[in-house]
Structure 1
């Protein structure tokens, strides 16, 4: 069975469960309608219960394809709300509401859910960086050569082009294009994009001698993701280039759904999970804080109306923790009153999705929110030179992975990496070239390690890599390949070409009581052994004999 067939089967099972639930819900609502019609003074609790049930079906029925039933429930919900807000009941209106509610089962009997094809994100949304083949369309040869040398030292494959017509012949296909629009005619490229790859145009970065609004606007309209004026800040350009590949080092987006409607939450989970997201659900709000701490979501989807709790109340509980201030909270509700929606957003929410929501709208909203939140979060947590996590943030990742390793009974490793003789690089070639060496190593680490691995600049020329579900032996093999690749990189100045090396120490979560500081201390001890043994080597707690 293919993945698509499996999802179709799961959706069919969910829809069958929902139809059975509808029959039960409509029977309960018919009983409430009978009370309204035949009781002299039914009281607010009966009407409130009926309104809540109508509200719930107004949101969920349409999602499962029962559009007419969902729309009718929304109309009756609004009528019930009007009666609840009256000082004295209008019994004629209550009778009409009761009769209409009793007839809802007829809509179910003569309707079948509208066929819905499982939705997937576009190639553009899901694409991650593959090969790094960068095209330079730059006529100014000194600039082209300088950029080529610098980007090559960062680990990219560079191809130089003189004319736009040559771009279609690029082999392998380009992953990104950098265009200097200063020469006459090159700005025409902004109106004639080059060949697409996998259904989309690769990232475009623009260089210009004009620093004005119109030049930037033209670049944006052409789909440029970066704009740089001469003289070009090459480290900044490379940083933007790397970000343009949308290579999420943290792995799949993590989405937490808080909803008491089990079938609806299961459908959201299935749709989002089928598009590569990790999804968890909470039906009992008492478990919310534990789930937030253990799951670490990128986005929270929150039903606004639940028994005993409201979405805004739970959102405010989340916001009491400073660690979760960056996590966007998206309300899910059948609420259509703009004033009540605004009130909910003011109470700790970030967005509002009105039920029923289509699969495609759900995917787009969640993906956009998760992507933006992770970009902002990582920008705040990252070192400006390398784009890697800062000292405190990488230590936090060590703590997180230690807890995960213990909970899942899986290995994890930490590597401390330090560039050899870095002070002599700064003294001999200048700090600008020293920065290029740091950037080159950070870029190489980022490209060669897995998306789930975490990287941080620990200080100066020192880095820390956190490798979950990886023992120290495998970590040594991975770092050894990267060490050899770094040795092969050539850094060029106007007069000299030079190479660099690094040393590394690796420790693993081998003792159950070890904490972050002890694990980092063990990695630092192994790094010291590597330096003492002659540098340009890797020492590990599991390879003592081999490293000496």
Structure 2
């Protein structure tokens, strides 16, 4: 996490639970600001003064207030998730606590790493960028009417009149949803949807037909060509906003699990390569700088062999979380394979990318030293390459890999630069 980024605050009221002190320590270690409370008045004042990202409440409640008494008050004040640390509950008991305001259940004995992973997912949901909506409609007035409604709901909207231009917008705008008219002079919406579905990188993007067509059979026929739903134009504004928001939220959730590595939540191998390929094309077309780095944990096999795969996984997660937070929207990070990571630096020179990687290298060492159960030094090496004229994505990867090999050969725990 960059030093100028505010840490997400977690309020913890679970001192009766064994391991709560270690939980607080680990939350701090993984980038959260943890504040503990045991008195009802102190917790409620804090909730009023500075609402946290999340609240962790133990089943015993507070010293002067039971969980059932405090939960309704937390529900009124909380702007984020309320996680209930508890023993096994029946479905009836879970429903009871959900009514009181619990959003997530964390079961004892506590698996701290799983809890932190869950907090990461919840935090990511709160930090999502606005939904991106692509409207394809030959009627500028109709498209603008829908677009204005969605923009007023803080969504990003791009409108095109010619469906033949849709692939340019799909590549550059990367929409969360496509709202497409059915009847257009250049081609029908269902025909264009079928063509879009032939491109694997856009296969999961929801396509919703927005038309005045009310014939149910024609609607179903259009959907069978590649659409996900069929909405009638001029629906109430609140219904349009809600429908788009729900569809986009579902898409982003599915896309996350389809494109991300399960251990690290970074882009998986396939999707980080796809991201790089898109950036290579964009950088060459717009004459922009593009740097690419390969990062590899030093002597990782020895870590697994000596300390076990659970410790090895934790080392990988620490580095993955550091990379994910540090890239800060200036590119993309993916798990290339095993203990190796790929970093795409958009519009960044090789020297600047190398400086960033070297800063992260030092920060990684600090994080390892702060970890309570990793009592040995861990470092990483990296190789950085700059996209040059005539290079394709694979050649850029090979260049960074060669720079990584040079860093390893020179003694590890350093950043190598490709000089070819």
- Give TM class, smaller chain: 0.7 to 0.9
- Judged with a 3 Å threshold, the aligned counterparts in structure 2 of structure 1 residues 347 and 180 are, in CA distance, closer, same or farther, namely farther
* Structure 2 residues not aligned, in runs of 5+: none
Aligned to 2:32: 156
Structure 1 residues 90-142: Cα deviation after superposition (integer angstroms, max 9, x where no partner): xxxxxxxxxxxxxxxxxxxxxxxxxxxxxxxxxxxxxxx95222222213353
Calculate the aligned-residue CA RMSD, in Å: 3.1
Aligned to 2:334: 456
* Structure 1 residues not aligned, in runs of 5+: 1-128
Q: Which has the larger radius of gyration?
A: 1
Matches of 2:371 and 2:216, distance apart in 1: 59
State the SS of the aligned residue for 1:131.
Answer: coil
* Equivalent of 2:88 in 210, 225, 230: 210
Q: Does 1:516 align with 2:393?
A: yes
Structure 1 residues 177-207: Cα deviation after superposition (integer angstroms, max 9, x where no partner): 22232569224443322674xxx61222232
State the SS of the aligned residue for 2:21.
Answer: helix
Matches within 5 A, 1:121-270: 131-170=7-46, 173-181=51-59, 185-193=66-74, 196=77, 201-222=79-100, 224-246=102-124, 252-270=130-148
* Equivalent of 1:530 in 404, 407, 416: 407
Q: Does 1:326 align with 2:207?
A: no
Structure 1 residues 339-381: Cα deviation after superposition (integer angstroms, max 9, x where no partner): 5545544443223332214554433332332222122012112
Matches of 1:307 and 1:499, distance apart in 2: 65
- Judged with a 3 Å threshold, the aligned counterparts in structure 2 of structure 1 residues 293 and 444 are, in CA distance, closer, same or farther, namely closer
Matches of 2:74 and 2:158, distance apart in 1: 41
**1:249–1:451 contact (8 Å) kept in structure 2:** no
State the SS of the aligned residue for 2:116.
Answer: helix
TM-score of the superposition, structure 2-length normalised?
Answer: 0.85
Matches of 2:296 and 2:243, distance apart in 1: 41
**1:182–1:207 contact (8 Å) kept in structure 2:** no
Aligned pair count? 409
Matches within 5 A, 1:15-414: 131-170=7-46, 173-181=51-59, 185-193=66-74, 196=77, 201-222=79-100, 224-246=102-124, 252-272=130-150, 277-307=155-185, 309-337=187-215, 340-414=218-292
- Judged with a 3 Å threshold, the aligned counterparts in structure 2 of structure 1 residues 208 and 248 are, in CA distance, closer, same or farther, namely closer
- Judged with a 3 Å threshold, the aligned counterparts in structure 2 of structure 1 residues 213 and 439 are, in CA distance, closer, same or farther, namely same
State the SS of the aligned residue for 2:384.
Answer: strand
State the SS of the aligned residue for 1:260.
Answer: coil
**2:182–2:190 contact (8 Å) kept in structure 1:** yes
**2:162–2:186 contact (8 Å) kept in structure 1:** no
Structure 1 residues 130-167: Cα deviation after superposition (integer angstroms, max 9, x where no partner): 52222222133532123223333322222233344332
CA shift at 1:470, angstroms?
A: 1.9
Aligned to 2:371: 491
Matches of 1:305 and 1:390, distance apart in 2: 38
Aligned to 1:435: 313
TM-score of the superposition, structure 1-length normalised?
Answer: 0.67
- Judged with a 3 Å threshold, the aligned counterparts in structure 2 of structure 1 residues 190 and 292 are, in CA distance, closer, same or farther, namely same
Structure 1 residues 387-436: Cα deviation after superposition (integer angstroms, max 9, x where no partner): 11111221111111111111222112212112233334334433222222
State the SS of the aligned residue for 1:205.
Answer: strand
CA shift at 1:504, angstroms?
A: 1.9
Worse-superposed segment, 440-449 or 214-223: 214-223
